[in-house]
């Protein structure tokens, strides 16, 4: 695995490689830790974004193993925060403190639910209203937006162009595996046929994602 599929930061820039592919070369780009592009509640969590140095398959393997351990760390932090959300309101006796292993039961049995998300199929009128809401959708003002997240394979983004109707004028999906596949001939050059198994595995190419 060492020195197989070695890439450099210049190749990452040329082919738009992100995630583990770029961090294995020493680049530190991570949307979760970005000051302006962070999303969700990552700002309130304490975690690391690991970086390699050689840019080969072994570096990408080590990064993926480290990220799996870091994902467990993130899940533990979120579970702890959810189970202790009432610490700031200890004076209010109505708010209870729940154990982490009971959170799923609480979320399933939540009484306050939006009527839109309820499947009220007791009457024909409710069934018609449900399908009308989800069939027509919401009308979005004419604009352009791009939102991306840090997926396990890299930066996954969606560009939407609206024309003030309930359907987008244009939708462009940026899948990380599609960009990684473009750099495959460069990474595989000079290696044996048996090395392609390791190369495809560390690149994490999902062929259902690149079928366009």
Are the C-beta atoms of 12 and 29 separated by less than 8 Å? no
pLDDT of 59 strictly over 90:
yes
Q: What is the Cα–Cα distance from 138 to 136, expressed in whole angstroms?
A: 7
Average the pLDDT over each of 85-89, 120-124, 143-147, 205-209 and give the range with the smallest value: 85-89
Mean pLDDT of 153-181: 91
Query: Would you say 57 and 197 are in contact if contact means Cβ atoms under 8 Å apart?
Result: no
Mean pLDDT of the chain, nearest integer: 82
- Taking the alpha carbons at both ends of the chain, their separation in whole angstroms is 30
Instruction: Please say if the pLDDT value at position 112 is more than 50.
Output: no
Q: Which residue has the tokens 């595995």?
A: 201
Closest residue by Cα to residue 99 from 84, 78, 77: 84
- Condensed to tens digits (0 to 9), the pLDDT of residues 66-78 reads 999 999 999 999 8
Do 2 and 9 contact (CB within 8 A), yes or no? no
- Cite the beta strand spans of the chain per DSSP E: 143-151, 154-162, 170-174
Closest by CA position to 181, among listed 211, 155, 149: 211
Query: Which of 174, 179, 178, 141 lies closest to 159, judged by CA?
Result: 174
Predicted TM-score of the model (pTM): 0.74
The per-residue pLDDT for 166 is 84
What digits encode the pLDDT tens for the residues 136-157?
777 888 999 999 999 988 999 9
**Dihedral pair phi/psi, residue 160, rounded to 5°:** -120, 135
Q: What does the pLDDT look like over 4-31, one tens digit per residue?
A: 888 999 999 999 999 999 999 999 999 9
Percentage of the chain modeled with pLDDT above 70: 81
Given a cut of 80, whether residue 119 has pLDDT beyond it is no
What local confidence, expressed as pLDDT, does residue 205 receive? Answer: 87
Pull the structure tokens for residue 68: 């799996």
Q: What is the mean pLDDT of residues 100-106?
A: 58
């Amino acid at each position: 695995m060492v020195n197989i599929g070695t890439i450099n930061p210049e190749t990452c820039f040329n082919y738009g490689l992100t995630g583990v592919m770029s961090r294995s070369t020493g680049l530190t780009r991570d949307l979760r830790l970005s000051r302006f592009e962070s999303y969700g509640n990552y700002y309130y969590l304490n975690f690391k974004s690991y970086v390699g140095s050689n840019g080969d398959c072994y570096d990408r393997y080590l990064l993926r193993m480290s990220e799996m351990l870091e994902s467990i760390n993130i899940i533990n932090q979120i579970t702890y925060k959810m189970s202790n959300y009432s610490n700031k309101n200890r004076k209010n006796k109505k708010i209870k403190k729940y154990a982490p292993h009971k959170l799923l039961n609480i979320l399933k049995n939540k009484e306050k639910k939006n009527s839109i998300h309820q499947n009220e199929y007791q009457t024909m009128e409710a069934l018609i209203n449900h399908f009308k809401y989800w069939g027509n959708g919401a009308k979005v003002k004419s604009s352009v937006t791009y939102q991306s997240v840090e997926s396990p394979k890299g930066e996954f983004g969606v560009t939407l162009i609206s024309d003030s109707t309930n359907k987008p004028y244009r939708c462009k999906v940026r899948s990380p595996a599609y960009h990684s596949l473009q750099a495959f001939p460069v990474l595989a050059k000079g290696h044996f046929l048996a090395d392609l198994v390791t190369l495809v595995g560390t690149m994490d190419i999902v062929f259902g994602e690149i079928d366009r």
